[in-house]
Amino acid sequence: MSVSTIGLTTSTADRKRRAGQRLILGLAGPSIQAEERELIRALQPAGFILFSRNVEEPAQVRELNRELRSLVGASTPALCSVDQEGGRVQRVKAPATVWPPMLWLGNVGRTTLSAAVGRAMALELRAMDFDLDYAPVADIHSNPQNPVIGDRSFGPTAQRVIEQMVPFFQAMQEEGMIACAKHFPGHGDTRTDSHLELPVVEEDPDRLMEREIAPFAAAVRAGIGMVMTAHVLYPAFDEEWPATMSSRILGGILRKKLGYSGVIVSDDLEMKAVRGRYPLDMQLQRATAATVDLFLCCKEPQLQHEAWECLIRLQEEDKVQDQLATDSFRRIQAMRERFLKDRPPPPDLSLLGCPAHQDLVMQIRAEGAV
């Protein structure tokens, strides 16, 4: 695979290809249904995301990922992804290692331990043929009443999050696992859950930059592979649009101010913060203008197909959207080349839940449990 050898033209076929390459699709269950197989072959998505509903046991996960990968063309190898943070967000459990919450790891406060956990988590995921983990959470545990972040964060201050998050994801990426810092520009200070409604963070811009955004700035400097957006409104930066749809926040702050040139992925388009609140074409148009590259469509086949058609139509109707889609395609391909090219073979499944990894769990529980 080479980015330079892939043609980037403006034919209908290429627009369809670029549209598919901006989607990460979810499945209904532990195997691929006939309708899903047909949709995947038509859309040729950038990749897939698995949830607990798709997981029976590690060998089945590995074979599912390999089957999904076989349905996508070799020039754009599928990114097989998962939310495996530890704690309450862990899609593959025993016999894989069941990791404690990252807040406990942050409480221990040893960078060597955080790196060891990131490395172990990456190796177990690679054994199951994953390429991308939507971790770490770069949000700060700044609001104890937050219903959705809490102990998913490494700590209550920007300094603690940065100190433990950076070695964690650098170790993951050293093992060939793409890491993703989420949820930009910070979901830690919300009082509501973006899965259910649109949260609002009422903070002044200096406070947001110094606290909530600081871990993301550190992640960018340290070479994070991907950044996920938050479906959250930040009136200090943009009074009208949530971060996923805000050029001021993503283009102005993440791209220009922080200097991030990598892949931006949206949070799930099925979340109530955006689903039904804004028309889909408006979401995709504004998010593309804000330089979002990939869109998570985690379950509904109708939404997946509708998003694909909308992304094609936006390219056909607007030269700016056509160029932005081309830019996204290039960034996604560059990420593939950075992380997937010349990786060593995945470890054996016997690594999952091994004594060395269980020892890491015991250390975290002994020193960091709350």
**Catalytic residue numbers?**
195, 267
> Using an 8 Å Cβ cutoff, are 151 and 102 in contact?
yes
Give the Cα separation of 68 and 50 in Å (integer).
Answer: 11
Chain centroid offset of residue 61 CA: 19
Label residue 313 exposed, middle or buried (CB < 10 Å: 0-12, 13-18, 19+): middle
Contacts for 317-326: CB closer than 8 Å, 24+ residues apart: 318/285, 320/289, 321/285, 321/288, 321/289, 322/10, 322/15, 324/288, 324/289, 324/291, 325/15, 325/18, 325/19, 325/22, 325/288, 326/8, 326/18
Phi/psi of residue 332, nearest 5 degrees = -65, -45
**Count of residues making up the chain:** 370
Q: In b/e form, how buried is each residue of 64-99, taking b as 16+ CB within 10 angstroms?
A: bbeebbebbeeebbbbbbbbbbbbebbbbeeebbeb
- For residue 142, the one-letter residue type is S
- Residue 296 is encoded by which pair of tokens? 């998570």
Sign of CA dihedral 308, 309, 312, 313: negative
- For residue 191, the one-letter residue type is R
Identify the residue whose tokens are 């805000």. 246
Give the Cα separation of 296 and 303 in Å (integer).
Answer: 10
Ranges of H-type helices in 44-140? 58-70, 102-108, 111-127
Helices 301-317 and 34-43 sit at what angle, rounded to 10 degrees?
10
Identify the residue whose tokens are 């997937």. 340
Give the Cα separation of 158 and 306 in Å (integer).
Answer: 39
